[in-house]
Amino acid sequence: MNQPPSQPKSREQWGTRLGLILAMAANAVGLGNFLRFPVQCAGNGGGAFMIPYFIAFILLGIPLMWIEWGIGRFGGKYGHGTTPGMFHYLWKHPLAKYVGAIGLTIPFALVIYYNYIVSWTLAYSVFSLTGKYAGILDFRGMADFLAAYQGKISNNYFPNIMTAFLFFCITHFCMMWIISRGVSKGIERLAKTAMPLIFVFGAILVIRVLFLGTPDPALPENNIANGFGFIWNPDFSMLKESKVWLAATGQIFFTLSVGFGAIQTYASYLKPKDDVVLSGVATSTTNEFCEVILGGSIAIPVTVAFFGLAQTKTIAAGGAFDLGFFAMPIIFQKMFLGQVFGTIWFFLLFLAGVTSSVAMAQPIMAFLQEEFKTSRRVAAWIVGTMTFFFTLPVIFFLKHGFLNEIDFWIGTFGLVVFAILEVVLFIWVFGAANAWKEINSGADIRLPRFVLPLMKYVTLAYLVALMVFWFIQDGWGVLTMKGVSAADYPYIWFARFMLIGIAAFMVFLVYIAWRKPHVIQRRVPE
Amino acid sequence: MTSSGWIFLIVSWSFILFLMIASFTVVLRKK
């Protein structure tokens, strides 16, 4: 291994270790913890789902966390907070930095649509408080309410898309403001405020749900115990189906926010001898607490208590958004002090979402600051302005499938491809012995030796299987635009060209950056 | 909820809480 040059003094660092773990956990905790997990669990064998889920957590999730933390801290030692620089030192090859550009493309492309979805939760929090959707007590009505908000249709509630646009602007400004304040004063402070609030709001909602009992005595089978039963009663026959194992593995992959490029950037602000092993475990388990204990105890149990098992199955089959944006607003209206609990629910989702979108914006921020020597404020303006304009087609072409197209190629397929690349580069190219030494350096607990072959073979095999299955199951259909109406083809092609354009732009930025004198000074022979 | 449902809930919650409390105990002690 090369001896790292002294880390530039201007690089930011985390204020406290607790702040770092909360920021990492805040990055991982997102909308999926509270909406996607319960739907996946209920639809894939209930309690039995937890068997492949925990197996994937141990064999894929935690090892991948350690790998990303290790890569990040390694890059930080050389003054690089993003994967172009990190990969340059892992694989001394001219292509390495351009492969690393994927670690800029993915979080950037994620921000441009995730931020918009996060803005819906802020809007619904306000709508719940002000009673905007009061009186809509059926699914058709709530579906129309959301469709009008998104500009897909026009009705009395929303004549145009301007309300959604306004809430997006507010959310976007919040993100820009936080990243402009830096790692310690912006991201860490946000995490130290948001994570305790997520715990408190989650606990309030769980306690409320537990005490709901049987909301309608005329329908005694619609109760909270049956709601928990719907999530937890194991259906072992489902374990024979590969789709259950795929769903559990996919859920672990999404929930830990691995393959984003964001963990590496956060970890790059560690000191060279800071622990990554125990911190990685603490982060992962905090995320699991929010997902399994809080997320699993709110939306599905309460839906069963109010709508019954049969209707909950239909809602869960409709997906996470049907549960979060159609069922939950109706349920809160039927509940005592429902306006308050509805506001808390959607604000909880907003906090979970905004902490993740800040993490997604940080890699490109770090790249501009470190490789182009841009000031933090200017970098925030550049990132904010670029992501704002790229989000406009997502907002205005939503009904044409623009968001779904980007979500598949970036938010599903892209993540697993990038995760495979980083495992190969770190464990196979950089070398298993070097990677092992890097991860264990400064560790608070010693990792058992079997973890190394686990990372080298099992974690990688899991990722490759996930990529192949996803491509067969969904990728080919998305690629060939199966089920897409001919009228939407131009929008789908626009989304694809936009993604290719973003990737090409990131490669170009890396090309320019590698010609800057301060980067040349730190380069190693390729 | 069936008894096996309770078992899965309790085992899952205990596993997560154990790992979380154990890791945070060491993290906070060594900060």
CB contact under 8 A, B26 and A234: no
- A305-339 per-position pLDDT tens digit: 999 988 888 888 888 888 999 999 999 999 999 99
CB contact under 8 A, B6 and A54: no
Q: Residue A34 and residue A475: Cα distance in Å, rounded?
A: 26
Where do we find the tokens 């049987």? A214
- Alpha-carbon distance B9 to nearest alpha carbon in chain A (angstroms): 6
CB contact under 8 A, A50 and B8: yes
- Alpha-carbon distance B6 to nearest alpha carbon in chain A (angstroms): 7
Q: Which residues of B touch A229 (CB under 8 A)?
A: 1-2, 5
Half-sphere exposure of A68 (CA within 13 A, CB side): 32
- Alpha-carbon distance A282 to nearest alpha carbon in chain B (angstroms): 5
A509, amino acid identity: L
Percent of the residues in chain A that have a pLDDT greater than 70, as a whole number: 98
Structure tokens at A21: 């773990």
Nearest chain B Cα to A57, which residue? B16
The predicted pLDDT at position A7 comes to: 55
Is B10 in CB contact (< 8 Å) with chain A? no
Q: Name residues whose C-beta falls within 8 Å of residue A117's C-beta, 6 or more positions apart in sequence.
A: A31, A353, A403
Q: Which residues of A touch B26 (CB under 8 A)?
A: 278, 444-445
pLDDT-derived band at A3 (thresholds 50, 70, 90) equals low
CB contact under 8 A, B27 and A50: no
CB contact under 8 A, A228 and B16: no
- Alpha-carbon distance A493 to nearest alpha carbon in chain B (angstroms): 43
Classify domain A17-520 by CATH number.
1.20.1740
CB contact under 8 A, B9 and A228: yes
The predicted pLDDT at position B9 comes to: 94
CB contact under 8 A, A281 and B19: yes
CB contact under 8 A, A47 and B30: no
- Alpha-carbon distance B29 to nearest alpha carbon in chain A (angstroms): 11
* DSSP annotation of A393: H
Q: Which residues of B touch A16 (CB under 8 A)?
A: 31
pLDDT-derived band at A426 (thresholds 50, 70, 90) equals very high
- A228-255 per-position pLDDT tens digit: 998 899 888 988 988 889 889 989 988 9
Q: Which residues of A touch B2 (CB under 8 A)?
A: 229, 233
* DSSP annotation of A240: G
Question: Residue range A152-161: average pLDDT?
Answer: 93
- Average pLDDT, whole number, for chain A? 92
Q: Is the pLDDT of residue A8 over 60?
A: no
Do residues A402 and A393 make contact, with C-beta atoms less than 8 angstroms apart?
A: yes
SS3 label, residue A276: coil
Q: Residue A261 and residue A100: Cα distance in Å, rounded?
A: 9
Q: Residue A316 and residue A354: Cα distance in Å, rounded?
A: 25
Q: Which residues of B touch A285 (CB under 8 A)?
A: 16, 19-20, 23
Q: Which residues of A touch B1 (CB under 8 A)?
A: 225-226, 228-229, 232-233
Q: Is the pLDDT of residue A522 over 90?
A: no
Do residues A261 and A103 make contact, with C-beta atoms less than 8 angstroms apart?
A: yes
A361, amino acid identity: A
DSSP A179-235: HHT-IIIIIIHHHHHHHHHHHHHHHHHHHHHHT---S-TTSTTSSHHHHHHHHHS--
Interface size between A and B, measured as CB pairs under 8 A:
74
Question: Residue range A289-294: average pLDDT?
Answer: 96
* Neighbour-count burial of A387, counting CB atoms closer than 10 A to its CB (0-12 exposed, 13-18 middle, 19+ buried): buried
Instruction: Enumerate the domain spans of chain A.
Output: 17-520
Q: Which of the pair, A246 or A277, is modelled with greater confidence?
A: A277
Question: Residue range A403-409: average pLDDT?
Answer: 90
A3, amino acid identity: Q
The predicted pLDDT at position A52 comes to: 93
Where do we find the tokens 């303006």? A381
CB contact under 8 A, A47 and B5: yes
The predicted pLDDT at position A41 comes to: 87
Do residues A27 and A290 make contact, with C-beta atoms less than 8 angstroms apart?
A: no
Quote the distance between the C-alpha of residue A217 and its chain's center.
Answer: 40
- Alpha-carbon distance A54 to nearest alpha carbon in chain B (angstroms): 9
Nearest chain B Cα to A282, which residue? B23
CB contact under 8 A, A293 and B16: yes
CB contact under 8 A, A289 and B2: no
Structure tokens at A79: 């003054």
Most B CBs within 10 A among A188, A287, A293, A309, hence the mutation to make, goes to: A293
- A20-75 per-position pLDDT tens digit: 999 999 999 999 999 999 888 888 888 889 999 999 999 999 999 999 999 999 99
Where do we find the tokens 């690393």? A100
Question: At A195, phi and psi to the nearest 5?
Answer: -65, -50
- Alpha-carbon distance A280 to nearest alpha carbon in chain B (angstroms): 9
Question: Residue range A125-149: average pLDDT?
Answer: 94
For B26, other C-beta atoms within 10 Å of its C-beta total 16
Structure tokens at B6: 């309770």
Q: Is the pLDDT of residue B28 over 60?
A: yes
Question: Residue range A86-103: average pLDDT?
Answer: 95
Q: Which of the pair, A520 or A243, is modelled with greater confidence?
A: A243
- Of the candidates A120, A118, A129, the residue with the CA atom closest to the CA atom of residue A175: A118
> Angle at CA A318, nearest 5°, toward A466 and A133?
130
Question: Residue range A294-300: average pLDDT?
Answer: 93
- Alpha-carbon distance A446 to nearest alpha carbon in chain B (angstroms): 13
CB contact under 8 A, A445 and B1: no
CB contact under 8 A, A54 and B2: no
Q: Is the pLDDT of residue A510 over 90?
A: yes
pLDDT-derived band at B31 (thresholds 50, 70, 90) equals low
- A448-484 per-position pLDDT tens digit: 999 999 999 999 999 999 899 888 888 898 899 998 8
Question: Residue range A406-434: average pLDDT?
Answer: 93
CB contact under 8 A, A17 and B13: no
Question: Residue range A269-288: average pLDDT?
Answer: 94
- Please state at what angle helix A224-232 crosses helix A189-210, rounded to 10 degrees: 120
